[in-house]
Amino acid sequence: MTELTANTAPSTADPLASTAQSGAANYPGLDAWRDLPISQQPTWSNTEVFKASVKELSVVPPLVFAGEVDVLRERLAAAAQGKAFLLQGGDCAETFEAATADKISARVKTILQMAVVLTYGAAMPVIKMGRMAGQFAKPRSSNDETRDGVTLPAYRGDIVNGYDFTPESRAHDAGRMLKAYHTSASTLNLIRAFTQGGFADLRLVHQWNKGFTENPAHARYESLARDIDRAISFMDSCGADFEALKRVEFFASHEALLLDYERALTRIDSRTGLPYDTSAHFLWIGERTRELDHAHVDFLSRVRNPIGVKLGPTTSGDDALRLIDKLDPNREPGRLTFITRMGAGNIREKLPAVVERVTSSGAQVLWVTDPMHGNTVTSPNGYKTRNFDDVIDEVRGFFEVHQALGTVPGGLHVEMTGDDVAECLGGADPIDQDAFLDRYESVCDPRLNHMQSLEMAFLVAGALSR
Ligand code: PEP
Ligand code: MN
């Protein structure tokens, strides 16, 4: 195999040298990451396929537009001030196979349903964002996976290799970057159609939520649903323009892990002359790739998109400040989001020091909770799972910490699906581990199913309205 980008070592060859003639080819600094240590990157099996894929990706149409990215930055700035709330949700890892109309619409529908409940609970606009239309690259704790004595490269997400446990499927195929682009494009096309074409009608979305509260297990959420019902009737009586409420903004986001792909989709905005990563509106840096002087932080410091960084329980206040200096040196409203994922048992103890340090420096970031990644456990029957109660407890801890400090708990980042899967334990209509045998579908981390996602929205709405 030809090694193009070695794990955790500076890349030597510049495979883009002959192909980076279009788009943002000569923009200063955009390729500085190539000389820095980089982790979690593939070892592409075929150099020619790699070069051809990058060449094509650097001329294809952008998936998102710079003007939309700027709008999102303004929305996130409002959230950082407590004037909006971010709801970011979707699969841990999207797959090409699951990019079907049914599954995409179920996920969008669930996010819209959650958003209506949260809008009411928070009494403020909810920014709707999918971990969708590009969430194809996964960091892994080990480079390899062994099954029955056979060792093969780990699955790194559909943009790199296949989930099937065969040498062919697990080889790192750069041609998959093109498939990821096209799958993102068709996913985003459907999202845009749904959210602009009448599917997002507030009254319709509220009707769907009634299905949830009609389940006797969810009786305790009925009164909140009734309150929303009355609010909608009131709006109707006042002559609210429900036609306008048929369209909603919906943004796309993913972890910017595979820098070959992110770099190739970066374009210079014709209005401002500045670089935008047009693979998504919002990009985040994972907990495993947020080293200050490494490639991911460097690359994302140079694009105009709003950026997120995941912060785990080992994050110090100084780490957070250094990330702010590097990623948001101008302290631009909406530019930087910290997505904390400390674990339910850690958040009340660890988060305050980080938030206090940032606040006392005068910087304003958007604080979002990811209550999933610090709460992963293995079920007795061997599945990677999360307890619904732990997830909710981390969300509560997040609100408690911010309320105690007088800072803004600005959003929620969840791994969820619109389907009736069984991957996380618990919920009012509880999932037990036996259900995993038939309904565990995730190729990576466990997701809240449709009902668990709505239940979370009702619980968070309850907390927000207090
Ligand atoms: C993820 O969001 O799927 C992920 C890997 O998260 P983290 O970087 O927080 O571990
Ligand atoms: Mn995950």
Q: How far apart are CA 62 and CA 42, in angstroms?
A: 24
Distance CA(303)–CA(33), nearest Å, equals 12
Q: Which atom of ligand 1 is nearest to the CA of 93?
A: 3
d(CA 221, CA 203): 18
Strands of 78-154 (E only): list them.
85-90, 126-130, 144-147, 150-153
Q: Which atom of ligand 1 is nearest to the CA of 286?
A: 8
Closest CA to 342 of 319, 315, 377, 322: 315
Ligand nearest 254 Cα, by number?
A: 1
Residue entry with tokens 């199913």: 449
Closest atom, ligand 1, to C-alpha of 445: 3
**Ligand closest in space to the Cα of 370:** 1
Residue of 395, 316, 313 whose CA lies nearest to 354:
316
Side-chain-side CA neighbours of residue 100 (13 Å): 8
Query: Phi and psi for 235 in degrees, rounded to 5?
Result: -60, -40
Euclidean distance between CA atoms 313 and 287, whole angstroms: 10
DSSP bridge pairs for 151: 146
- Alpha-carbon dihedral of residues 158, 164, 165, 166, nearest 10 degrees? -90
Helix (H) or strand (E) holding 336: strand 336-340
Encode pLDDT of 70-91 as tens digits: 999 999 999 999 999 999 999 9
> Predicted ipTM?
0.99
**What separation in angstroms does the CA of 98 have from each of 95, 135, 392?**
5, 12, 27
CB atoms within 10 A of CB 388: 22
Q: What is the pLDDT of residue 8?
A: 42
**Pick from 331, 264, 46, 259: which is nearest to 171 by CA?**
46
pLDDT at 432: 98
Report the SS3 class of residue 108.
helix
Distance between CA 243 and CA 324 in Å, rounded?
Answer: 41
Tens-place pLDDT, residues 111-138? 999 999 999 999 999 999 999 999 999 9
C-alpha distance across the termini of the chain, in Å: 58
Give the per-residue pLDDT at 199: 86
- The Cα 115–Cα 129 span in angstroms is 10
DSSP letter assigned to residue 100: -
Specify the pLDDT at position 3. Answer: 37
Question: Is residue 131 within 8 Å of 103, Cβ to Cβ?
Answer: no
Q: Report the C-alpha gap between 350 and 304 in whole angstroms.
A: 30
In angstroms, the CA 159 to CA 133 distance is 12
Sign of CA dihedral 53, 43, 5, 298: positive
Give the position, in ligand 1's atom list, of the atom nearest the Cα of 413. Answer: 2
pLDDT tens sequence for the chain (466 residues) = 333 443 444 343 444 433 333 468 889 999 999 999 999 999 999 999 999 999 999 999 999 999 999 999 999 999 999 999 999 999 999 999 999 999 999 999 999 999 999 999 999 999 999 999 999 999 999 999 999 999 999 999 999 999 999 999 999 999 999 999 999 999 999 999 999 998 889 999 999 998 899 999 999 999 999 999 999 999 999 999 999 889 999 999 999 999 999 999 999 999 999 999 999 999 999 999 999 999 999 999 999 999 999 999 999 999 999 999 999 999 999 999 999 999 999 999 999 999 999 999 999 999 999 999 999 999 999 999 999 999 999 999 999 999 999 999 999 999 999 999 999 999 999 999 999 999 999 999 999 999 999 999 999 998 888 7
pTM of the model: 0.95
| Strand duo 409-415 + 85-90: pairing | parallel
Cα distances (Å, whole numbers) of residue 90 to 2, 222, 372 = 34, 26, 12
CB of 296 closer than 6 angstroms to any ligand 1 atom: no
Give CA–CA dist 118/129, Å, rounded. 14
Q: Is 402 in the pocket of ligand 1 (CB under 6 A)?
A: no
What does the pLDDT read at residue 26?
A: 86
Q: Is 414 in the pocket of ligand 1 (CB under 6 A)?
A: no
In this prediction, residue 211 carries a pLDDT of: 87
Q: Is the CB of 290 under 6 A from ligand 1?
A: no
**What is the DSSP annotation of 272-290?**
T--EEETT-SEEEE-GGG-
User: Could you tell me if the CB of 313 is within 6 A of ligand 1?
Assistant: no
Alpha carbon of 453 to ligand 1 centroid (Å)? 18
Q: Is the shortest distance between the CB of 413 and ligand 1 below 6 Å?
A: no
Task: Give the 3-state secondary structure of residue 129.
Answer: strand
Which pLDDT score, from 0 to 100, does residue 191 have? 98
CA–CA separation, 33 vs 35, rounded Å?
Answer: 5
Q: Identify which ligand lies nearest to the alpha carbon of 137.
A: 1
